[in-house]
Amino acid sequence: MTTSTPPRRPTGIPIRPDDRPRIRARVVDLYTSGSTIAQVAAETGWSELTVRRLLKEARVTMRRPGTYDRTRFRRH
The model's confidence at residue 23, banded by pLDDT at 50, 70 and 90, is confident
Overall pTM > 0.85: no
The CATH number of 20-62 is 1.10.10
User: Does residue 29 or residue 17 have the better pLDDT?
Assistant: 29
| Backbone φ and ψ of 14, nearest 5° | -65, 155
Query: Strand, helix or coil at 54?
Result: helix
